[in-house]
A and B are shown apart, each in its own frame.
Chain A
């Protein structure tokens, strides 16, 4: 379990927000790539992330194609 505690200094709390946003972005990039390499479809990844298929495709398709990942059409 992640124990999210409130830091004493707001400077640390605000910096944590920045670091968590960055972490979430990187985790999304890594996990979408892993799922697509394992043969997930765009609609499946989109639904798992709670976003539209268009959004996930627009954000990640180019880099995965550039990396030579074999993408399922549906």
Chain B
């Protein structure tokens, strides 16, 4: 399946692993795929940036999502500082789901290659979970962003 990825899409999956590790995560989640595309060289990054979702904007949205979710149960927490794990984080369910949806988006486009744009669509098609909640925190309309990416 991975040999049908474009260079940019394959690079994004690899970078997502690095981002997850740098953020101290023990697994690669859908949001790490999105972060990877946002700082990659694919033109899709510009569409994300136009919606306010450049790498820093996305990071801020994810922090806001965490703060909001913890606040919902009355918890506040500072940012933790620690040495990241050295092991390569594995793809978690949210990332696998995003890849599945990306593949479906590529098939729907009748595209023989899975592009970075398909990866982003794969993460954006989740209706629940961290990514849609973070977009909500950033005031980004998910449906509008999907349309902008499909144009």
- Is A63 interfacial (CB 8 A cutoff)? yes
Known A15-B133, A29-B24: A66·B70 in contact at CB below 8 Å: no
Which applies to chain B's interface (DSSP): helix, strand, loop or mixed? loop
Given contacts A4-B73, A7-B72, contact A63 B85 (CB under 8 A): yes
Chain A hits for B128, CB < 8 A: 11, 14
* B70 close to A29 (CB less than 8 A): no
User: Is B80 a contact partner of A29 (Cβ separation < 8 A)?
Assistant: yes
Chain B interface residue count: which class? 20 to 34
Most buried by A among B69, B74, B80: B69
Q: What chain A residues lie within 8 Å of B77 (beta carbons)?
A: 23, 27
Does B81 lie within 8 Å of A30, measured CB to CB?
yes
Is B110 among interface residues, defined by CB-CB distance under 8 A? no
Cβ of B81: which chain A residues have Cβ within 8 Å of it?
A: 30
Number of interface residues of A (CB under 8 A): 30
Whether, in the assembled complex, B2 has its beta carbon less than 8 Å from a beta carbon of chain A, the answer is no
Q: How far is the CA of A64 from the CA of B26 in the complex (A)?
A: 15
A48 at the interface (CB under 8 A from B): no
Expressed in whole angstroms, the minimum distance between the Cβ of A63 and any Cβ of chain B is 5
